[in-house]
Structure formats: structure tokens, C-alpha cells
Amino acid sequence: MYFIAQSFANLFKPRLSFKIYILGVIFGGLAFVFVSMLIPDLLRINGPLVGASAGVRACILFLCVYWPNKPIGFFSFRFPLKYLGIAMVLLDLPGLMSLNSGGTVAHIGGYLSGFLYAKQLKIGKDLGSFLDVVLDYLKSVNKLKTVHKSKSPTMGGKQKKEFNAFPQQKQIDLILDKISKSGYDSLTQAEKDFLFRAGKK
């Protein structure tokens, strides 16, 4: 899983990996519904059908199809990535006869989603492009919340008036706590100046 996560982080934008995952979940759910209507006696479910594993499998198979000959290491063995995809699908198939065959059907839907996504992306078509509308909307809503969150100046995560009422050591602790959570670059210029002045005393 570390290799999969690193590969997506290095090669693709976060939005693409999210779209592949969501489409895998959707395909997994649709596969389950379709098979339950077509062959209801086949499906057995041990626990709730969540769908996250279908999304993960979509991401893995996407990489295996999009980047089939990329060598990966497993202990002292090295082999092309495509064999990982083949092995995962073959290991999942016996699950169709298990007590959780419904989950396996969803997994197969996820595999199909990842396979189709990779094949289409190779020819310049993004199967998850319809999700861009949703993601753009959520991004715009988040920006509005950020803009209207608070227009009054803050220091150390507190309103400036409240911050000024604290003893100096408490003020320093608040700013240091902000650094530990979000990094030095998250400080405003006023907070940086305050720390600089406090350090000279």
C-alpha cells in the first residue's frame, strides 16, 4: 500500500487518485446491485457492504494497467507491476464462493473500474471527469468559508484583544503551539515579529 500511495503522489495529482477511488466505489456498488438482480442466490454478505475496498482495488489495478512494466520489489524478488494486478484478481476470485461473496463482487467492480480508467486515460479520456464538477463546487464552498470565517486579526489562534490579555509566556506558548501544528510558515507577520521581540528579551 505504501508503494501505491507513493506512486500516486509522485506521478499524479491528488484529484486523479481521488476520482479513481470514488469511481471504484461506485463501480463496486453497481456490480453488487447488478449481480444481486441477475443471480440473487450467488451473493452472501458477512457484515455490511462498505465499498472502500473496491476503491482501493481500483487504484491498485489502475497503476498495474497504466504502468504495467514498472518493476517493484517484494523482499528479494523483483517483478513487473502487472503481475501484482493479475495475482490480486486471481486471489480474489475464490471469494465468490465464500461467506462474503457480495464483497468479492464489489471488489471485481473496483478492478473493472481501475482497468477501464487506465485504458481510457492512456488515450486521453478521463472517465472521472464528471466528478470534477462536484470537486470544483466543494472547493469553491471551502474558499467562501475561508474568506468569511473571520476578518478580525488573530494572534496565536485567538482574537487579538483576547491574546493581548494573556501573560507573555502564555502568548509565546500559543504561537509555538501553532507552529507545532501547522509549521512556521503558517504564522502571520505580526506573530513572527512578536516571537522575534520576545526572543530578544
Q: Which DSSP letter does residue 186 get? A: G
Amino acid in the structure at residue 56: V
Query: Count of H helices and E strands in the chain?
Result: 9, 4
Distance, CA of 84 to CA of 57 (rounded, Å) = 11
Q: Which three cell numbers stand for residue 147?
A: 474568506
Query: How many structural domains is the chain composed of?
Result: 2
Is the pTM higher than 0.75? no
Do residues 53 and 103 lie in contact, with contact meaning Cβ atoms separated by under 8 Å? yes
Quick one: pLDDT band at residue 120, thresholds 50, 70, 90? very high
Range of the domain at 51: 2-130
Q: Which three cell numbers stand for residue 102?
A: 457480495
Please tell me whether residues 163 and 118 are part of one structural domain: no
Q: What is the DSSP string of 4-42?
A: HHHHHHHHS-HHHHHHHHHHHHHHHHHHHHHHHHH-GGG
Please tell me whether residues 15 and 67 are part of one structural domain: yes
Handedness of CA 163, 164, 166, 171 (dihedral sign): positive
Of 96, 130, 164, which one is at a domain's C-terminal end? Answer: 130
Of 130, 161, 178, which one is at a domain's C-terminal end? Answer: 130
142 is a domain residue: no
Which of 70, 106, 117, 111 lies closest to 90 in space, CA to CA? 111
pLDDT (tens digit per residue) in 49-59: 556 889 999 99
Please tell me whether residues 155 and 84 are part of one structural domain: no
CA dist list (Å): 189 to 46, 161, 184: 56, 17, 11
pLDDT (tens digit per residue) in 4-39: 667 766 777 778 888 999 999 999 999 988 888 888
Of 101, 130, 159, which one is at a domain's C-terminal end? Answer: 130
66 is a domain residue: yes
Q: Rounded to 5 degrees, what are φ and ψ at 44?
A: -130, 140
Please tell me whether residues 124 and 153 are part of one structural domain: no
Q: Which helix (H) or strand (E) holds 108?
A: helix 101-122
Within the chain, what is the greatest distance between any pair of CA atoms?
A: 78
Please tell me whether residues 38 and 120 are part of one structural domain: yes
Please tell me whether residues 104 and 12 are part of one structural domain: yes
Which of 121, 123, 106, 2 lies closest to 57 in space, CA to CA? 106
Please tell me whether residues 108 and 80 are part of one structural domain: yes
161 is a domain residue: yes
pLDDT (tens digit per residue) in 66-92: 989 988 877 778 889 899 999 999 999
For residues 112-132, give the mean pLDDT. 93
Distance, CA of 117 to CA of 97 (rounded, Å) = 28
